[in-house]
Structure 1
Amino acid sequence: MQPTFEQLSQRYGSRYRWLVLLTVMIGSMASIMSSTIVNVAVPDLSRHFVLGQERAQWVSAGFMLAMTLSMLTTPWFLLRYGLRRTYAGAILLLLIGGIVGGFSVNYPMLLSMRVVEGLAAGILQPIPSIVVLRAFDKHEQGRAMGIFGFGVVLAPAIGPSVGGFLVELFGWRSIFFVVVPFCVVVLFMIRRLLAVNSRLMGEASALDWKGLLLASVGTIGLLNGLVHLHDGFLQSVPMIGIGLAATAGFVMYQLRTENGLMNMGLFRYPQFAAGALVAFIYGAGLFGSTYLLPVYMQMALHYAPSQAGLILLPAGVVLAFTIIIAGRLADRFPPNLLVSIGLVLLALSFGLMAIGSSATGYFTLMAWAIIGRIGLGFVLPSLSLGAMRGVETGLIAQGASIINFLRQLGGAIGVSVVGIVLEWRLAVYQGGASQEASVRAFNETFLLVALFCALAVAAAVRMRTPGE
C-alpha cells in the first residue's frame, strides 16, 4: 500500500515539505551533474571519436536541446501522473542514459544517450521551483530556494572536478556512471517520501503535440543552422529560416489554442516578461561559459583535465554559501535588485577572462571564476521568485516551466554560438597554431559571453512586481 499525502503529512508534520524539497534537490543535482560533468571530457571525446569542435559541441548542445524541449511537458506530466510517478519516471530515464551512455561504442550511440539524459533532466528541472512556490509560504520561499540552491550548485562545482580526475584515471566512459548512485538514492526516497495523490495532480487535457512539434522544429532548425554557419552563410540560411518560421508558428498557435504548452497570458505580467528575457540571455551567457572554461583551460593553456575541473571547485564552494545568503536576502529585498547585482558580477568575471593571457596564473583564473560564481549565487534564488511573484497560483507550474525553458533555450543557443565563434576566431588566427593565437581566440569568445550578461542587466532592472 503506497502512502497518501495525508498519511505522510501526519507522519512527518511540518518537516514533510522540507523532505520533499530534499528529494527533488538530489534528483536535480544528478541531472545538473550529468549536464556539466561531460564538458571536462570534450577534448578526450574529440580524440576518441575523431570529432571536430563543431561536432564535439553537440555532446553538450544535444543534451541541452533535449532538456529545453522536455521542460515544456512538465506541467502536463504533473497534472496527468502526479509528482511521484513523474519524478520516478524521469529519474529512471536519467539512470538508463547514464549506464548505456557509459558503454557507447560509437558517437551516434553516445549522442543519443546524451539526448535521453537531457529529456529526463528537462522534466526534472522545473519541479523544485514548482514545489517551493506551491508548498512554502511567501516569507519562506527565499530561504527554501537558497537551501535548494546550496545543494544544486554543488553539482556543477563537484562535477567538473570529479570528472577531470575520472577522465585521467579511467577515461571518458566513467563520467557517465557518476549519476548512478544519485539516481538509486532518489528512487529510494521517492518510494518513502512522495505521495501517490500529489496535490499537483489535476485534470489534464490532451498533451499539445502540435505545439511540441512546432517548438521542436523551431529549436532544432535554429541550432542546426547556427552549427552549420561554419560551412558558410548560404548553407545555414535554409535551416535558420525554417527554425524562425516554426518558432513564429509556435507563438501564433499558442496564442490561439486552449491548454497549450505555454500559457501566453503569463507574458501580460510585466515582471514575468522581463524575467523571461533575463532567463534567456542569462542562460546563453552562463551555459556558454560553462562549456567554454574547461575547454579553454585544456586547449589554450594546456592544463590537465583534473586541473581544468579543479579550477571551479573553490568557486563552487563559495557559490554554495553565497546562494544561502542570497536566498535569505530575497525575502527582504526586491529580487530584481539581487539579479542585477549578480549579472554585473558575472559580466565582470567573463570580462576579466577576456583580458587573460598565457602568463595568467592558475590562482588568478580561480579568483576570476569565484567572482562569477558569487554573481551566480545572487541570480539563482531570485530569478524565479522575482518573475513569479504576483502570478496566479494556477499558473505557477506553467510559469516555472517557461522560465526554465527559456533559460535552457538561451543556454543551448549560447553553447552553439560560443562553439561557432570559437571555431571562427581560431580559424582567423591560423587555427590557433601558437598558444598566444589560441588564447586570443578564447579571449574574444569570453568577451562575447560578458556582453550577454551585460545585456541581461537591462532586462533585470525591469523585473519588478507592480507596487514595489
Structure 2
Amino acid sequence: MSSAGHDPHSLQALQARHGERYRWLLLLSVMLGTMASVMSSTIINVAIPDLSHHFALGQSRAQWVTSGFMVASTVSMLTTPWLLTRYGYRRVYSLCMWALLLGGLGGGLANDYALVLLARVAEGLAAGVVQPIPAIIILRAFASGEQGRASGLFGTGVVLAPALGPSIGGVLVDAFGWRSIFFMVVPLAAVGLWLSRRFVPTTAPGGVAANAESAGLDWLGLALASASTLMLLNGLVQLRGEGGHGAGVLLTLAGLGALSFVLWQRRLLHLARHGGRPALMNLQVFAHRNFAMGSLVAFTYGTALFGSTYLYPVFMQMGLGLSPSYIGAALLPSGILLAVTINIVGRLADRYPASRLVMLGLALLALSFGLNFTVHPSQGLAWLWVWIIVGRIGLGFILPSLNLGAMKGVPHALIPQGSSIINFIRMVGGATGVSLCAIVLEWRLSMHGARLGEVAGEAALQAFNETFACLALLTGLAMVAAWRLGGPEHSKG
C-alpha cells in the first residue's frame, strides 16, 4: 500500500499539526459542504412556481429541476469510493464545492431553462459525491466511543439546512425572485472551499496517497445504474399520470436494468480477485447482516421521509386550507427540534445499541403517521403540531444511529463502499416514496370521489388519513429489519 510520503497536507501531517482537535475540524469542514449540497437539493421547491412562470413551463418540465438533481445525485454517490482512492479527499471535495458554487452562480444568472437544468445536474453530481464522505470520515477518524457524538453533531448541521432553507427561501423568492435561491448555496460552498484548503487531507481513505494509476471506473456499471434510476423515476412519474402503458414499459426496463447491474457487479467482483477492474458497487458488504438489515431500513426510511415531506405540505394546504407561508413557518420549529434531538441521540448512540435507538425512532415515526386521523380543521391544529413533532423526534433517533448500526462489523477497507451504497439506497427509497405517496393519495381520493387540487371535504380528509396509514404500516415493517441491526459497538472493523 502506498504511503503519503512527506506531503504537508497528508492526513498524518495535518494530524501532527493540529493535534487531537483535528478530527473535529475536518468534520466541520465537510459538514459545511454537505449542508450546501443538502440545501441545494431541498430549497429549489419553493422557487418552482416562480421559475415556471418566468420560463412559461408546464408542471412536468418544471419538476425536472428537482428530478434532474435527484437522478444525478443518486447515481454519482456510487462513484465516491473510486474518486477518493484515485484523487484523494481534498481534490474530490474541492471539485464538488466548485461545482456547487458555479452551479449556483450559473443557475442564478441563466436566461435559458436548459442552462438552469444543466446547473441543477452539476449541483446534483457534486451533492451525490459529497454526501457519503462525512460518514466515511466519522467511521475512520473517530474512535467507536466518539462516533455517535460526531454523527449527532454532523446530523445537527445537515438537518438545519433543509429546516431553515425553505423558510429563508420563501422570503427570498418573494423579495428577489427565483434566482436568489441559486445564489443561497454560493457562500456555503465558498467557505467549504476555504476550509478544504486548511483541513481536508490530500490523501485517500486510510491515510494512503491517492493513486492516479489505480484501476479505471466501471463505466458500464455506472451507465446501467444511471439508466435504471432514470427509468424508475420516469416510470413512477408516468404512473401518477395517464401513461399507464408507458409506465409499465419503463418500470420493466428499470427492473431489467437493475438485474443486469447486479449480475455485472458480481462478475466484476469475481474478476477483481484475479487482478481485474473493481466493481462500482462491492456486493461483499451485503454479506454482513447488519449492513443488509440497515440497507432495508435505509430504503424504507427514505421512502417514509421523502414521502411524508411531499405529503405534509399537500395535506396542510389542500386538506386543511392553510397558506404556504403559514406552512413554512409552522414546520420550522419541528425542524429545529429535530436538529436538537439528533445531537442528544448522537451521544446516546455511543452507549446504547443502534437497533434499540432505530426501532424507537421508527416506532415514533409510525405513530405520528398512524394517528394523523385525529387532525381535523374543526378541532384546531394542535394535534397536527403534536404528531409532526413526534415524527421529527423519531427521525432524530434514526439519523445518527442507522449508519453506525449498519456499518458495525464491516471491514475498514469496505467503509467507503458501504457509506456510498447505503446513501444510494436511501435516495432510491426517497425517490420512490414521493411517487408512491402521490399514487396512493390519488387512488384513495378517487375512491372517495374527491380530486387533488380542490379544498378537501370529509371524503378527501379520509383519503389523506388512509395515505398516512400506509406510511405508518411501511415504517412499522422497517422495525423488523431494525431489530436485526445487532447490539452495542463491540465489533472491530
1:199-238 to structure 2, matched below 5 A, reads 199=207, 201-203=209-211, 204-229=214-239, 230-238=241-249
Equivalent residues, number: 468
Does residue 435 of structure 1 match 2:445? no
C-alpha contact (below 8 Å) 2:290/2:486 kept by paired residues? yes
Shift of 1:159: 1.1
TM-score, normalised with respect to structure 1: 0.92
Does residue 178 of structure 1 match 2:184? yes
1:239-258 to structure 2, matched below 5 A, reads 239-257=250-268, 258=272
Does residue 306 of structure 1 match 2:325? yes
C-alpha contact (below 8 Å) 1:54/1:420 kept by paired residues? no
1:307-326 to structure 2, matched below 5 A, reads 307-326=326-345
Q: What secondary structure is seen at the aligned counterpart in 2 of 1:312? A: helix
The equivalent residue for 2:293 is 274
The equivalent residue for 1:383 is 402
Q: Give, as a single letter, the amino acid of the residue that structure 1 aligns with 2:264.
A: Y
Shift of 1:217: 1.3
C-alpha contact (below 8 Å) 2:374/2:383 kept by paired residues? no
Q: Give, as a single letter, the amino acid of the residue that structure 1 aligns with 2:361.
A: G
C-alpha contact (below 8 Å) 1:343/1:457 kept by paired residues? yes
The equivalent residue for 1:187 is 193
The equivalent residue for 1:448 is 470
1:325-336 to structure 2, matched below 5 A, reads 325-336=344-355
Range with bigger deviation, 100-109 or 231-240: 100-109
Does residue 68 of structure 1 match 2:87? no
- Cα distance 1:106–1:359, how it changes in 2: closer, same or farther (>3 A)? farther
C-alpha contact (below 8 Å) 1:53/1:419 kept by paired residues? no
The equivalent residue for 1:265 is 284
Does residue 156 of structure 1 match 2:147? no
CA RMSD of aligned residues (A): 2.5
Shift of 1:102: 2.4
Q: Give, as a single letter, the amino acid of the residue that structure 2 aligns with 1:160.
A: P
Q: Give, as a single letter, the amino acid of the residue that structure 1 aligns with 2:294.
A: G
Shift of 1:319: 1.3
- Cα distance 1:290–1:431, how it changes in 2: closer, same or farther (>3 A)? closer
C-alpha contact (below 8 Å) 1:74/1:401 kept by paired residues? yes
State the distance in 2 between where 1:7 and 1:336 align: 37
1:14-163 to structure 2, matched below 5 A, reads 14-45=20-51, 56-105=62-111, 107-163=113-169
The equivalent residue for 2:433 is 414
Range with bigger deviation, 353-362 or 135-144: 353-362
1:361-393 per-residue CA deviation (whole Å, 9 max, x = no partner) reads 455433322111111111011111001011111
Q: Give, as a single letter, the amino acid of the residue that structure 2 aligns with 1:435.
A: A
State the distance in 2 between where 1:351 and 1:106 align: 44
1:207-253 per-residue CA deviation (whole Å, 9 max, x = no partner) reads 01111111111111111111111224222111111110000000111
Shift of 1:104: 4.2
1:62-118 per-residue CA deviation (whole Å, 9 max, x = no partner) reads 322211100000001100110001001111111122222223445544333322211
Highest CA radius of gyration, 1 or 2? 2
C-alpha contact (below 8 Å) 1:68/1:409 kept by paired residues? yes
1:284 to 274, 282, 303: 303
Shift of 1:284: 1.0
Q: Give, as a single letter, the amino acid of the residue that structure 1 aligns with 2:393.
A: I
Q: What secondary structure is seen at the aligned counterpart in 1 of 2:102? A: helix
State the distance in 2 between where 1:301 and 1:390 align: 47
Unaligned runs of 5+ in 2: 1-6, 273-277
State the distance in 2 between where 1:447 and 1:235 align: 29
Q: Give, as a single letter, the amino acid of the residue that structure 1 aligns with 2:475.
A: C
Shift of 1:403: 0.7
- Cα distance 1:441–1:172, how it changes in 2: closer, same or farther (>3 A)? farther
C-alpha contact (below 8 Å) 1:281/1:453 kept by paired residues? yes
C-alpha contact (below 8 Å) 1:225/1:240 kept by paired residues? yes
Does residue 464 of structure 1 match 2:475? no
Range with bigger deviation, 448-457 or 342-351: 448-457
State the distance in 1 between where 2:320 and 2:402 align: 34
State the distance in 2 between where 1:202 and 1:254 align: 24
State the distance in 2 between where 1:373 and 1:342 align: 9
Shift of 1:355: 4.9
C-alpha contact (below 8 Å) 1:64/1:118 kept by paired residues? yes
Range with bigger deviation, 270-279 or 221-230: 221-230
Shift of 1:179: 0.8
- Cα distance 1:160–1:361, how it changes in 2: closer, same or farther (>3 A)? farther
State the distance in 2 between where 1:280 and 1:72 align: 16
Unaligned runs of 5+ in 1: none
- Cα distance 1:426–1:176, how it changes in 2: closer, same or farther (>3 A)? farther
State the distance in 2 between where 1:13 and 1:101 align: 40
C-alpha contact (below 8 Å) 1:389/1:465 kept by paired residues? no
1:293 to 281, 304, 312: 312
State the distance in 2 between where 1:441 and 1:103 align: 42
The equivalent residue for 2:366 is 347
The equivalent residue for 2:275 is none
- Cα distance 1:110–1:439, how it changes in 2: closer, same or farther (>3 A)? farther
C-alpha contact (below 8 Å) 1:54/1:423 kept by paired residues? no
The equivalent residue for 2:3 is none
C-alpha contact (below 8 Å) 1:49/1:107 kept by paired residues? yes
Shift of 1:200: 6.0
- Cα distance 1:106–1:445, how it changes in 2: closer, same or farther (>3 A)? farther
TM-score, normalised with respect to structure 2: 0.88
Shift of 1:465: 5.5
State the distance in 2 between where 1:226 and 1:17 align: 42
1:5 to 6, 11, 17: 11
C-alpha contact (below 8 Å) 1:284/1:415 kept by paired residues? yes
Q: Give, as a single letter, the amino acid of the residue that structure 2 aligns with 1:71.
A: M
State the distance in 1 between where 2:105 and 2:323 align: 26
C-alpha contact (below 8 Å) 2:359/2:479 kept by paired residues? yes
1:424-444 per-residue CA deviation (whole Å, 9 max, x = no partner) reads 555652444343266555444
